[in-house]
Amino acid sequence: MIEDDFFATVKLKCGDEIFAKVSASDEGDRMLLLVSNPIVVEEVKARGNLQGFKFEPWLKTSNEDLFILNLDDVLTLSESENMEMIMFYKDYVNKMNKTNHTKLNKKMGYITSVHEAKEVLEKLYNSNNSKESSN
């Protein structure tokens, strides 16, 4: 059974602290958390009294947006009703989803299949080799 989604800060036993949209799922013998687009939030202070937040994906080398955590790996969980943080999170996730799914176009360079590119490169290589051997 999956409960309603909620926004939360999750502190893991490994030391990571993430902010995400979370769902709890009771799998009978264990409780799981489904975390959507988890991010790491870092407070950034500038000169004077200026401060802000820096957002980064929790796992930087993964393209996945949904992760399953065993509740046994969670040190603490705090549901967030901070609308400012939730709006920052939603904006960040929207921007990341748009930039990760850039459509290819002719302005980016040549678009071809691997097979076609291999044929072109082989022809180029063979023509260069035949010119060198004739010299």
Spans of all domains in the chain: 6-103
pLDDT per residue of the chain (135 residues) written in tens, 0 to 9? 455 899 999 999 999 999 999 998 888 888 899 999 999 999 888 888 888 888 999 998 888 889 999 999 999 999 999 999 999 999 999 888 776 555 656 666 666 677 777 787 788 878 877 766 665
CA distances for 131 relative to 74, 117, 124, 128, 135, angstroms: 66, 21, 11, 5, 7
pTM of the full predicted structure? 0.67
Name the helix (H) or strand (E) containing 40.
Answer: strand 31-45
What is the fold of 6-103? SH3 type barrels. (2.30.30)
CB neighbourhood size of 105 (10 A): 8
Q: What's the count of helices (H) and strands (E) in the chain, helices before strands?
A: 2, 6
